[in-house]
Chain A
Amino acid sequence: NAGVMQNPRHLVRRRGQEARLRCSPMKGHSHVYWYRQLPEEGLKFMVYLQKENIIDESGMPKERFSAEFPKEGPSILRIQQVVRGDSAAYFCASSTDRVGNSPLHFGNGTRLTVT
């Protein structure tokens, strides 16, 4: 897990604020996935990105959520105007290729708490 770096590990935001979650994939990995885990739930796919491109955002809420993976720098998951229901663990994962050809490597997650 040490290879995929996520920060911050814990993030507390008040309702209405913005949350920015960062993910640095493993070296050499160009595929990034974001997953969300609600309490007592499994991991839910949110978005799949390759460098500078969003490949699939079918799991992303239509409003307030956005993601990017710029040519330089980490991938960012941005949540605007957070609400209590956004409280969850957000996991980033990376791979060299599409899943199955090479497995996903997960970071240790960012735990977002909205007060």
Chain B
Amino acid sequence: DQQVKQNSPSLSVQEGRISILNCDYTNSMFDYFLWYKKYPAEGPTFLISISSIKDKNEDGRFTVFLNKSAKHLSLHIVPSQPGDSAVYFCAGREGSQGNLIFGKGTKLSVKP
């Protein structure tokens, strides 16, 4: 039972254009959502987060949008850069214990 789904295993985007990574969830008890970026042979790196009481959070080139009614969030990267090429994981926080439930990730390739 996947509580966090990233339905696109991969995404290819031209440098300078917008990258949109999508994430769907089923658990209504998630109160916080986070995006992590992961390079090969490294651990995930925190990118941006959003509380369930908000619908948008922006940090530089990265913006996360949350649509609670649709149980959907997305990460926008604009403009995309070759260094953004990595696997992006969406995660929801489950309850007060703070455990993160991760999706399977989307591999982003930004072509020069």
Contact = CB atoms under 8 A, between A and B. Distances in A.
A42 B32 contact: no
Contacts of A42: 4, 6, 89, 102-105
Contacts of A45: 99-102
A56 B41 contact: no
For the complex, would chain B's binding face be called helix, strand, loop or mixed by DSSP majority? strand
Given A42-B104, A99-B32, A100-B49, A107 B43 contact: yes
A68 B32 CA distance: 27
A41 B4 CA distance: 12
B9 to A, nearest CB: 9
A40 B6 CA distance: 13
A103 interface: yes
Contact of B93 (A59, A99, A105): A99
A interface bracket (residues with beta carbon within 8 Å of B): 20 to 34
Given A42-B89, A91-B43, A106-B44, A99 B100 contact: yes
A13 B105 CA distance: 28
B41 A108 contact: yes
Contact of B43 (A1, A95, A99, A100): A1
Nearest to A105: B46
Contacts of B99: 33, 45, 48, 56, 58-59, 99
Interface string B78-92: 000000000001010
A104 B35 CA distance: 11
A10 B23 CA distance: 31
The 4 residue pairs across chains A and B that have the minimum distance between CB atoms: A106-B43, A98-B98, A100-B32, A99-B98
Interface of B: 4, 6, 31-32, 34, 36, 41-46, 49, 51, 89, 91, 93, 96-105
Interface of A: 1, 4, 6, 31, 33, 35, 40-45, 48, 55-56, 58-59, 91, 93, 95, 98-100, 103-109
